[in-house]
Amino acid sequence: ETVKPTNFIHQIIENDIANEKVADGQIVTRFPPEPNGYLHIGHAKSICLNFGTAEKYQGVCNLRFDDTNPEKESQEYIDAIAEDVRWLGFKWNGDIRYTSDYFDQLHQWAVYLIEQGLAYVDSLSAHEMREFRGTLTEPGRNSPYRERSVEENLELFERMRNGEFDEGDCVLRARIDMAAPNINLRDPVIYRIRKAHHHQSGDKWCIYPSYDFAHGQSDALEGITHSICTLEFEDHRPLYDWFIENLPVPARPRQYEFARLNLNYTVTSKRKLKLLVEEKHVQGWDDPRMPTISGLRRRGYTPASIRNFCEMIGVTRSNGIVDMGMLEAAVRDDLDANAPRAMCVTRPLKVTVSNFPEGEEEWFELPAHPKDESMGLRKVPFSRNLLIEQEDFEEEKPRKWKRLAPGDAVRLRGSYVITCNEVIKDESGNVVELICSYDAATRGENPEGYKPNGVIHWVSADHSVPCEVRLYDRLFTEANPDGDKERDFHDFINSESLEVLTDSRVEIGLKHAVAESHYQFERLGYFSVDRDSDENRLVFNRTVTLRDSWAK
Ligand code: ATP
Ligand code: MG
Ligand code: MG
C-alpha cells in the first residue's frame, strides 16, 4: 500500500523510508514552541504539519518546550500551549519534554567541544563581538581570545557555570570559521550567562545554551528523524549539521524548512501579540479578535476548521500572504454542516400581534438543521408579543425591500405571515412598536397564489432569553499592518473592532446553552457561547457572518 504524498516534506519522508534511511522505519517529529507567549494560527500550521506527518506515517510527534530564555518564559504559557495542542486534537508522544531536561547533557557536550579545541570562552563585549563578526560582504576577524588553551577554556567555562562572572562578561563560542560566508558559522555563541530563575530548572543554572546549540542536540537525544522548521532557519542548517557531526550524539536528525504562514489583516508574531495584550488593545491573549489559537477558539472556531484550513493552504517553500477569508471559509464550512440553527434578535423592535389572544401561545416544531434530520427538531413558541430586528422594518421602504414596512406582509421564519397595520413612535419620533395581524392560513406554508414580501427572523418576547451579543470586525484596518516601513502596526489598529449588544434576545431553546457550543443564528451568522455566560446572562460571540463580508 502506498501513501500519496501531499507535500514536499511527505515526499522527502517517503524517499527516506524507501531508501531505508529511517531507523526501524519509525518517523519521529516534534513541535518545539518557546513558552514565551500564546500560540497563533501560524503555529497551528506547524502543529498540523508535525503531528499530521507523524500520524500519516504511523510515527510519533513530541511536544518539546524550547525553554532556553528563562526571563521571557512562564508556566502560564506552557499550560496554554499544551492546552491548544490538545484542543486541536493532537496527542503528543509520552510526556511533555523540555529542552531544559537536557541541560546536563548539553553542558557536557559543550565541555566536550572545548576539549576538542572546538569551543572557547570569549571575553569580548557584545558590542565588540558584533564588530568582529563582519558583514555579508566582509569576513569577520578572530577574537583575541580565540587561541585560549583548552585548560584555560575549561577553567573559565567552569567559573561561568559557578556564577563567578556577570552577565555579558563572557560567552562560550563554537570555534568554526570567522571568514565563513554564512555568518551563522562565524563562531556562534553556544552558552551565555543569565542569572535568572528558570521555570523548570529553578536556580540550578546561570548559564544557558543558545537556540542553535540546544535545538539539534535535543532533536538527536529524542531520536527526531525529521526536524521541521520555518524558512528563517535555513541559514542555520549548516550549523545544525556542524554540531551533529562534531558531537557524539546518539542519532542523526535532519532539518527541513517550510514557509511560515502569514495572514492578512492581522499579525502573527508572539512579540507583537504580546504588545497588543500588554497595551490593552485587546482584553487578553484569548480575546476573540486575536489570531491566537485560544482567541480563535473563543471566537467559535472549531479544531476541525483550523485543521482543514491548514490542509487547504498546504506546505511549500515559498512565502506568501494568505487571505483571512480562507480561514473564515473553513469555519463557515464546518459550522454550516454541524451547527444547529436558532433565532436571535440582536436589536429588538416590539411587535404586537393584535389578533392573537393575550396569554396564549402556539409552539412550532422546526428542524434544528435544514439539511440534517438527525439533529432533530426544536420547539419555538409564538405569542401575541414578539420581537423582530429593528433593521427589518423601514417606514419609508427602499426599492426591492424584502422585509417589513407599513401595510406590507412578511413571513416570520417557520411560523405565520404578519401584516404591519400601525406604527407606534415615542416622543422623539423613534419607532418603538408595530401593531400587526397574523394570517392563520399561512401557518408554516403559503396558501396558493399568496406570496409575502420576504422572510425575517423573530422571537417571542415573553419566552425568549435575554443575551449579550458580541460582534467582531478585523483587528487591523490594513491588509498588511506590518508592511509599511515608515509606520508601525499600532497605526493600523481598528478602534471599532468590537461591538457589544446588550439588549438581544435568543429563542428559549438556548436557555441552557453551554460555553463553546455553536449555533447558526438565522440570517446573522455563526455564533458561539462565550465562557462569560452564566445563569443570568448568555453571551454569544459572532464567529463569522453567513457570507464572505471581507471582499471589499
Ligand atoms: P514568533 O515569532 O511568533 O514567536 P517563533 O517561530 O519564534 O514565532 P516558536 O515558539 O519558536 O515561535 O515556534 C514553534 C514552532 O512553530 C517553530 O517550529 C516555528 O518555526 C513554528 N512557527 C512559528 N510561527 C509560524 C508561522 N507563522 N507559520 C508556520 N510555522 C510557524
Ligand atoms: Mg523560535
Ligand atoms: Mg519568537
Kindly report, residue by residue over 115-151, the tens digit of the pLDDT.
999 999 999 999 999 999 999 999 999 999 999 999 9
Nearest CA to ligand 1 atom 26: 42
Q: Are residues 75 and 146 in the same domain?
A: yes
- Residues 426, 522 share a domain: no
- As for how many domains the chain has, the answer is 3
| pLDDT value of position 100 | 98
Do 287 and 304 reside in the same domain of the chain?
yes
Asked whether residue 2 is assigned to any structural domain, the reply reads: no
Under the banding of pLDDT at 50, 70 and 90, the label for residue 444 is confident
For the question of residue 34 being annotated catalytic, the response is: yes
Asked if residue 69 has its Cβ within 6 Å of ligand 1, the reply is no
Same domain, 336 and 404: no
Question: How do residues 191-230 score in pLDDT, each as one tens digit?
Answer: 999 999 999 999 999 999 999 999 999 999 999 999 999 9
Average pLDDT over residues 517-536: 96
Q: Which three cell numbers stand for residue 305?
A: 476548521
Candidates 148, 270, 341, 505; catalytic one:
270
Instruction: Label residue 5 by pLDDT band (50, 70, 90).
Output: low
For ligand 1, atom 13: residue with the closest CA: 33
Cα angle 208, 245, 243 (rounded to 5 degrees) comes to 20
Short-list 443, 433, 463, 46, CA closest to 233: 46
Host domain of residue 551:
260-343+458-552
pLDDT of residue 551: 45
Residue whose entry in the numeric block shows the C-alpha cell 570559521: 177
Beta strands 465-472 and 498-506 are: antiparallel
Which listed residue (56, 146, 194, 260) is catalytic?
A: 260
Residue 536 has a pLDDT of 87
Structure-block grid coordinates of residue 544: 463569522
Atom of ligand 1 nearest to the CA of 261: 28
Span 450-471, average pLDDT: 94
What is residue 484's predicted lDDT score, i.e. its pLDDT?
Answer: 79
- If one compares 158 and 447, the residue with the highest pLDDT of the two is 158
Q: Residue 4 has what pLDDT?
A: 57
Q: Is residue 400 annotated as a catalytic residue, yes or no?
A: no
- For residue 552, what pLDDT is reported? 40
Q: pLDDT exceeding 70 applies to what percent of the chain?
A: 98
With CA atoms as reference, report the closest residue to 326 among 344, 349, 302, 306.
306
Q: What is the ipTM of this complex?
A: 0.97
CA dist., res. 373 & res. 360, Å (int) = 29
Amino acid 23: pLDDT: 84
Q: Please report the pLDDT score of residue 445 as a whole number.
A: 81
Return the minimum-mean-pLDDT range out of 5-9, 50-54, 127-131, 164-168: 5-9
In a domain, 149, yes or no: yes
CA of 41 to the centre of ligand 1 (A): 10
Listed residues 426, 456, 486: the one ending a domain? 456
* pLDDT interval class at 3 (50, 70, 90): low
Question: Do 60 and 89 have their domain in common?
Answer: yes
- Among 429, 456, 483, which residue terminates a domain? 456
SS3 81: helix
Asked if 84 and 170 sit in the same domain, the reply is yes
Instruction: Extract the C-alpha cell encoding 358.
Output: 393575550
What average pLDDT does the chain have?
Answer: 96
Residue after which a domain boundary falls, among 435, 456, 477: 456
45 lines ligand 1 (CB under 6 A): yes
Question: Between 1 and 527, where is the model more confident?
Answer: 527
